[in-house]
A and B are shown apart, each in its own frame.
Chain A
Amino acid sequence: MKKPLVKIILIFIISAALLAGCAMGPRAESAPGLSADENAVYVSNMQHIYKVDTKAGTELWRYPATGSVQVVLYAPPLLHESSVFVGDLANKFHRLDAASGSETWSFTEADGWFQAKAATNGDVIVAPSSDRNVYALNADGTLKWKYSGEFGYVAEPIILENSVIVAGLDHNLVSLNLESGEQQWITTLKGAMIAAPAYDPASGSLFVGSLGNEMLSIDSKTGKVNWTYGENGEISPIYATPILVGESLIFADESGKVFALDPATGSVEWTLDAGGETVAGILPLEESFVIALEKGELRAYKLADRTPLWTRTLDGKLYTTPVVSADKIVVAVTKGQTLLQAFDLAGNPVWSFTPAK
């Protein structure tokens, strides 16, 4: 009797592993979330969020101190004054002390994952969730209001004075009253939005790309579309936030083509083939910009004439937009030997960070 029982248990364990793929925790495949201030980078990846000293590349703290398969973090942390705001895939949203990594409070009323970076003006924290709700929290972590959309949210919201702009997977870009959560306007795009819009305070325009092969300029007050680029099949899906550099709106599409458009009219100023599929956003530097290709290449170009400056190849995939901290470019690597790799502004490797077990 014992032998068959052992066999059965073994068969079940193998079947469960095959079918469930370690079903103990949230089943999700995602890329590290990365943020930075002047002295440190914060990266959320799998069971922890790590604070890493940018000068030395050493771990300052990790949260939670002891990892659990039930808690998975991929949302980019939001840094505000002395706090870090980050949500996890166990449906909790946390406020941490940036100096120590200890938890100040957590919000537990959501029914879905927190994958998006939150936004705050100091008084209200806006945290979109995969449960189709956008949660606005008071500074003490209590619920102020919530707004329900048609699908989950993975894009960072933008707070503009008394409103908050939220881009959804339901193809809708909405403006909500920051105090009440009341919808002010809604604009429907062709595709889902994975990343936050860029905002130009001078013109009051929002620039947002979608999986519908389009880049739009939208008036932030009314939601009216100023122009649309990509209607003739010029671009492929867009997974990252565009950047405003000088007089240009710059973004890369999934195929790896980089576009610079006139923000006022949407007309093309220049294009560039980066040489590989691109999911991460473009990192602007003083007179150059850096693009992270999915295949693991980091390429820097001179902004003025797009002359290639340097190329570095990393072991792993790049899906996360690089950040700058203490004059270093920090890249988060997916499925690589290291989690973080830092370069100086000339592209020379400085340090790499692999979390200790």
Chain B
Amino acid sequence: MWDTLIIQPFTNVLLAITMVVKNFGVAIILFTLLIKLITYPLTAKQLKQTAAMQALQSDPRYKKMMEKYRDNKEKLAEEQMKLYKETGVSPFGSCLPTLIQFPIIIGLYQSIIKAMAATPLEILRLERLVYPFLDATKILPIQNRFLWMDLGQPERLPILGIQIPILAIIVVATTWLQTKVMTPPSTGAGDQAAAMTKSMNLYMPILMGWMAYSLASGLALYFLVSNVATVVQYSGQGRSDWSKILPFIKKKSPAPEPRPVVVFPDDDDEEEEQEAPKPTAKPSARAAVKQQRPQYKRKK
């Protein structure tokens, strides 16, 4: 079922691209970009939902509610659900697109592995996956030489007699870049999510670098393209915070988007409508992000 619906079509598209461009490395790049393009609506939705959730969670009244019901988890959950419902923010809104994307990403990864068949048994399995109209006899096994790499082997570039894992180093750098630009602003000191994010920023590049170092370079190439494409997608949506990476870049004063109005529920402790912060000439990155947050209103 998984093979028929995901792996087989993915592998055949990858092989078809290889037949057209006559280069497996280029085919991996194009195929990864194609998948990123197809899943873009899901990514965009996920980003939108994440931003709305972050905005909600950074609101002082939300924090106050958290504080108020800190010792009553049941009541807190009830109030949170009520708040989510009334503000129209779904707590699972950013999870669902991710869940839908997950099998696609795994399928993409597995189809690249399948296409890089190197043993007789792997070639046999690949040959049986190929649709008849592609004529497996002509293309199998895939010629997996790309630049200085053998895409079926871990990549090393000999420089002055030293085998340097260039691709793994670039994967580490781009994963770090990706986690940096994607990291949402912290919603407060001691925030558990912020602590997790900080740890993730540290461990994710190490993990991906280790995988790129030890796995076939075809997969490392996929990691690299995927990282770059994700950064570009985020930047395209104006969500990347480059000032985190390049301190000399001052985040330009954003033309404040019309902020979504979110209706906040009645709360005896909180009577005033929160005003949007006014943009300054050179706002900090955090302030700039804050400006884009939705505006909350008390429910009348």
Contact of A211 among B136, B203, B216 (CB under 8 A): B136
Report yes or no: B121 in contact with A29, Cβ–Cβ below 8 A.
yes
Q: Are B119 and A192 in contact (CB under 8 A)?
A: no
Q: For B141, give its contact among A74, A115, A192, A254 (CB under 8 Å).
A: A192
Contact A31 B215 (CB under 8 A): no
* Docked-complex contact B199 and A8, CB < 8 angstroms: yes
User: In this assembly, does A18 line the interface, its C-beta being within 8 Å of a C-beta of chain B?
Assistant: yes
For the complex, give the distance between the alpha carbons of A254 and B210 in Å.
39
A122 within 8 A of B: no
Separation of A5 and B215 alpha carbons in the complex (Å): 26
Residues of B with C-beta under 8 A to A16: 207, 211
Chain A, 1-28, CB within 8 A of any chain B CB: 1, 4-5, 7-9, 12, 15-16, 18-20, 23-24, 27-28
A150 within 8 A of B: yes
B119→A8 contact, CB < 8 A: no
Given contacts A23-B214, A74-B119, contact A5 B199 (CB under 8 A): yes
- Please tell me if the beta carbons of A18 and B106 are within 8 angstroms of each other in the complex: yes
Category for how many chain B residues contact A: 20 to 34
Q: A131 touching B199 by the CB < 8 A rule?
A: no
Contact with A along B245-270 (1 / 0, CB 8 A): 00000000000000000000000000
Residue B124 is within 8 A (CB to CB) of chain A in the complex: yes
Tell me the smallest distance from the CB of B183 to a CB of chain A, in Å. Answer: 14
Asked if A251 is an interface residue, CB under 8 A from chain B, the answer is no
Quick check: is B284 within 8 A (CB to CB) of the other chain? no
Q: Are B192 and A4 in contact (CB under 8 A)?
A: yes
**Which residues on A sit within 8 Å (CB–CB) of B276?**
none
**Partner among B113, B120, B150, B215 whose Cβ is within 8 Å of the Cβ of A239:** B120
Q: Please, which residues of chain B bring their CB within 8 A of the CB of A7? A: 196
Contact with B along A221-249 (1 / 0, CB 8 A): 00000000000000001010000000000
Q: Which residues of B contact A (CB under 8 A)?
A: 106, 109, 113, 118-125, 127, 136-138, 140-141, 143, 150, 152-153, 192, 195-196, 199-200, 203-204, 207, 210-211, 214-216
Could you show 5 A-B contacts with beta carbons less than 8 Å apart? A8-B203, A112-B150, A130-B118, A151-B143, A191-B138
**Sample of 12 more A-B contacts, CB < 8 Å, known A30-B120, A152-B141:** A12-B203, A15-B207, A18-B106, A19-B109, A31-B121, A111-B150, A112-B150, A154-B120, A190-B138, A192-B141, A211-B123, A213-B137
